[in-house]
Amino acid sequence: MAGGRERRERTQRPWSVYRANTFELSSEMIGLALAGNSQDPDEPVLEFSVACTELATPALERKPNSFVAVSCTTPPQAFWTKHAQTEVIEGTSNPMFLSSIAFFQDCNINPQTQVKLAVYDVKDRSQGTMYMLGSALFAVKELLQEKSHRLELELRSAENQRVGKVTVTAWQMEDRADHRMSVRSLPESINGRTVLPVDESLTESMGVRIKYASLCKDSLLRSVFGGTMSRMYRFPTTDGKHLRVLEQMAESVLSLNIPRQFVKLLLEEDAARVCELEELGELSPCWENLRQQIVSQYQSITLAYQETLSDLSNYRGPSFKASNLKADKKLEFMPTNLHVQRMRVQDELGFEHTYDVITIGAPAAHCQGFKSGGLRKLIQKFEEAKKHALSSSQSIVYIPQDIIRAKEIIAHINTLKTQVNYYAERLSRAAKDRSASGLERTLAILTDKTHQLVTVCDCKLLASAIQALNAARPEYIASKASPTTEPEQVVLRNDQDTLLAKWSGRNSRSSLHVDWHEEEWEKVWVNVDKSLECIIQRVDKLLQKERRPSSSSLDCTQHDLQGGSSKKGEEKRRAFWINPGSLSQDSLSSEPPPPSSSLPPYSSSSPALSSSARPPSPEQENYGSPSAEEAYPGEWSEALYPLLTTLTECVAMMTDKAKKSMVFLLMQDSAPTIAMDVSLQYRRDVVFCQTLTALICGFIIKLRNCLRDNGFLRQLYTIGLLAQFESLLSTYGEELAMLEDMSIGVMDLRNVTFKVTQATGSSAPDMLPIITGNRDGFNVRIPLPGSMFDALPREIQSGMLLRVQPVHFNVGINEQQTLAEKFGDTSLQEIINVESLSRLNSYYEQFKEVLPEDCLPRSRSQTCLPELLRFLGQNVNARKNKNVDILWQAAEICRRLNGVRFTSCKSAKDRTAMSVTLEQCLILQHEHGMAPQVFTQALDCMRSVGTREGVIQKNLSGLLPVRDLRLDPSLMYSLPLLALSPNLLVVWIFLSVAYFLAKVRCS
């Protein structure tokens, strides 16, 4: 009983506090201990901490600034491989290092692996001068077999002199060994009882339930992120315990995948715009010249997009884009240094906490330069040039609201036309199947969509645009019925030297009203309404006859006539029926139909009549006549087909004319400044693509981490996702223009929506996001595996569009910002911060209105969110130089509001590393109780040996595409010396070739 109680107490303790077991491990158990943990794939297979004592230096008056470099080799490998190193601890002979040495599953170590610890003394950190004090060697097997898993080794110098001691302490051995024994190494039977093996498929389902998702092993994250780097730390807490911290950093394949999709969409959009302009038909010479200029500009930008798409498609290098490639024309749509930075904290109670930040070089058009400023200044110049051009032009001037409305009308027309045609086809199928319920249900939807389309087309802006398009034809003659006995005719002819049409006739242009044109356009959309009314009447009559077969045809006819005469506004809105097949798109028949019927005749191409054996009588040629039903009893599809044909043809004529008029309106608006417009749009596309890529990465990792957080999911589909961008750009020189670019790119994210779908397969390409839409609005579809998709709430599963609320705070912190604060202008930074503060407050107000407080994550902070927002507002309005409190408070508010964090500077290297590591240490101290006395050492540890150092090394060490095979410049320094000795030259050539091959292999 005592043994059982002791075992039960031991299993309740968190695994992170165990250092060793008290019994000696067998070789089988050692192998299990090094096999890794299937439940936590990011857990190292071996982790140990290092401490040194009694370090001696040749200069007795100076204490060493030491660090430990760890190398390993596994037989039969005959050379040492550097694995990791600790941080530098200055001015002590007894350093205790906070960074632990971790071997993960991909290290492939075994009990025979030899580990070498080399202790170095750094004389000058700025110059990088150092020398090795001494080294020690041990085998992994020795550490695992030691009862306490603790080794004390003597450090020996190159002269084999004792220079101190190094202590190696292994962590978390017992829990892993017990877990491996319980899961994999149990025998099939114990004391005669059968033991069932654990089904490994349960591991995957359990992986959905846990809050933490591995960057390396999770099926969704693994398809998006790669090249993961990991570092381990052990930080003491205020209560004498330890925090286990796993720091990770990964690249994203979306750095290349998203730009490819985005440029392809832009190419399709601009190509479609050229087709729309070319389909306007014949225009007068002045308008034709303008159209050709606009088409020429779009064609040139289309060629640029085609070249960019070709470069991106042919690119075979890594998806990571180094900072020295940020001005590369071929890769300008790719974000610079895009990474996800993750910190995973496990406290003494075993609770997991994960903090993610997306780091990215400031989204900007580096390839296009910054001599003329960034997007904010260029947009301001463009608007001023446009006002000047329109004020001096003789063409019609449209206000910005008209331009926005015109784009909306085009989008609505395209969508509703497709829907009307779709439901007309479904109505025809329902009639063919003689499904009364399907007929009623589909007719209701068709009626609603058609009424929406008519409502969109019934607007004054559309009527005036149609009039302008008609007036732009080479010769346009308008006739107006005059109440006087003498008819009046006004002829409108386009002058070749001006954009304004000249009116000739008795009256001036001002005396001619536009009533005739409005009536002419009204005939078009009224025809659609009347066609729909005919279909409704016919369906009602078919259903009535189906339900009451004894009803006489005469009663039905009278019912139709009464129903048709009782329609609201019948006398005011007469039907001007036309035959779309026999008339041109720009001409309308103003002759009213025969008084015997208010319905159009059959089209000559209608198969319902051409296929009949006997020709119909004249009475049967009217839609309002019930004779068709009598001639073809029970044939619903033949009775509805001509009506549906007429409806779709009238809808096609109306939408075609409306869309052309809106395209012409947009052409009028863009004509004076088309060259500047296209150039500005290209720059905006480049910046937006980089920002969008980062946003998609942040959305995916946030969604995966919070897949079981019902509060976050409810917040997501109710008020959208908060995306907080933090930038450290100065407001001086080129970085001021970069800040202008980035602020517009972040603002444009308001036009982005997300939609979560179920992945069609389990492979990585099946789970990559898909972008649709155009510049007016992009939608990103996020495929999830079936098990993850099933965990989502019904609202998200049904395809609800998820919005984004972006905010952007900037504080310059480098020496250039000092110049800007003393001699320059910081107004842009102040404007950006004030605008973002307003949007952040608005987002929180929306949250309070519709969501409870328990949707938000818990925090140990004593400051509530309203107080944090108030402090942030005070700092934003304080006009204090380099007020980094703005960044810290905005970051904490974002985390407390379930937001996604983004951090950037010019290249996402030095300043970004400083910001991210400082944020991580602040989180450890405020949220997890890290001891304050080790704050500075922990910060220096993360900055010197953490994953952010890996970003700097990747940008400096040439881990670039294989096509970049330049030699290291340091190899060229010794060329003058080598020329003096042929033997040295041969050695240098041999080493250079070896370096070259190693570089290619690393790439």
Tell me which amino acid residue 660 is: K
CA distances from 346 to 8, 233, 291, 343, 834 (A): 22, 11, 64, 10, 37
User: 3-state DSSP: the chain helix, strand, coil percent, rounded to 5?
Assistant: 50, 15, 30
Asked about 905 being catalytic, the answer comes back as: yes
Closest alpha carbon to 900 in 725, 755, 747, 751: 725
Three-class SS of residue 722?
strand
Contact 143, 113 (CB under 8 A): no
Distance of alpha carbon 363 from its chain centroid, rounded?
14
> At 349, is the secondary structure helix, strand, or coil?
coil
Distance between CA atoms of 342 and 228, rounded to whole angstroms? Answer: 10
Spell out the residues 6+ positions from residue 239 whose beta carbon is closer than 8 angstroms to its own.
929
To which H or E segment does residue 695 belong?
helix 674-705
- C-beta of residue 808 within 8 angstroms of C-beta of residue 742: yes
CA 977 to chain centroid, in Å, comes to 54
Dig out the tokens for 153 from the structure.
Answer: 């080794």
Tokens 């390993």 belong to residue: 72
The secondary structure element, H or E, covering residue 29 is: helix 27-33
Q: How far is CA 226 from CA 138, 216, 543, 957, in A?
A: 33, 7, 62, 19
- Which residue stretches of 399-549 are H helix? 400-432, 436-457, 460-471, 515-547
Amino acid at 375: L
**Contact (Cβ atoms closer than 8 angstroms) between residue 907 and residue 336:** yes
Radius of gyration of the chain (CA): 37
* Cβ burial, residue 330 (10 Å; 0-12/13-18/19+): middle
Structure tokens at 308: 């960019």
Under 8 Å between Cβ of 34 and 109 = yes
What DSSP state is assigned to residue 617? P
Q: How far apart are CA 166 and CA 154, in angstroms?
A: 6
Q: What's the distance, CA 902 to chain centroid?
A: 12
User: Residue 238 is which amino acid?
Assistant: T
| Cβ-Cβ contacts under 8 Å for 835 (sequence gap 6 or more) | none
Residue owning tokens 């007068």: 284
Half-sphere exposure of 582 (CA within 13 A, CB side): 10
Identify the DSSP state of 897: T
Q: Is 903 helix (H, G, I), strand (E, B) or coil?
A: strand
Element (H, E) at 758: strand 752-758
d(CA 114, CA 72): 5
Tokens linked to 46: 């071996």
Rounded to whole angstroms, the Cα distance separating 984 from 417 reads: 78
**Taking Cα atoms as reference points, which of 752, 670, 94, 716 lies closest to residue 393?**
670
Q: Which residues face 774 on adjacent strands?
A: 777
Measured distance CA(776)–CA(367) in Å, rounded: 25
Does an H or E element contain 548, and which? Answer: none
d(CA 574, CA 150): 97
Query: Do you find a cis peptide bond into 592, omega within 30 degrees of 0?
Result: no
Residue of 534, 905, 921, 941 with catalytic role: 905
> In this structure, are residues 961 and 318 in contact, taking their beta carbons and an 8 Å threshold?
yes
Which of the residues are catalytic? Answer: 905
